[in-house]
Amino acid sequence: MAITNSTAMAKIIAKAWTDPEYKKRLLKDPAKIVKAEGIKVPKGSKVVIHQNSKKEMHLVLPQRPDGILDEDELNQRAGVHGVHMLYTCSS
């Protein structure tokens, strides 16, 4: 079974939550860690980490796919509700 980007991202997040040293390395050199986890980073692209907190939540707006798509195609590509958002729940 091939690892998808979303599976690899979930692995990165879980490791960062449970391993403080891994999180430090991720924040210091995110492109290196992301590549090591199997995510292809296009040459010349920068990997930026945004960390949610109790007072701040980040929404990542993906680049629109090439070509003109109708609303149904956009929803299929974007996911169940047309939006992907990673967030943390704080107690």
With a cut of 60, say whether residue 89 has pLDDT above it. Answer: no
Mean pLDDT of 11-23: 96
Rounded Cα–Cα distance for residues 56 and 46 (Å): 22
Range of the domain at 38: 1-49
Same-domain check for residues 40 and 54: no
Same structural domain, 54 and 36 = no
Query: What pTM did the predictor assign?
Result: 0.65
Nearest to 11 by CA among 24, 21, 22, 27: 22
Q: Are residues 44 and 87 in the same domain?
A: no
- For residues 1 and 65, give the distance between their C-alpha atoms in angstroms, rounded to a whole number: 26
Please indicate, yes or no, whether residues 11 and 24 belong to a single structural domain of this protein: yes
| Start-to-end C-alpha separation, the chain | 35
Condensed to tens digits (0 to 9), the pLDDT of residues 29-82 reads 999 999 999 999 889 999 999 999 999 999 888 777 677 667 777 677 665 444
- Tell me, what amino acid is at 37? E
* Backbone torsion region of residue 13, taken as left when φ is above 0, otherwise alpha when ψ lies between -120 and 50, otherwise beta: alpha
Q: Tell whether the model's pLDDT for residue 23 goes beyond 50.
A: yes
DSSP string, 30-59: HHHHHHHTT----TT---------SS----
pLDDT at 22: 97
Looking at per-residue pLDDT, the higher value among 89 and 55 belongs to 55
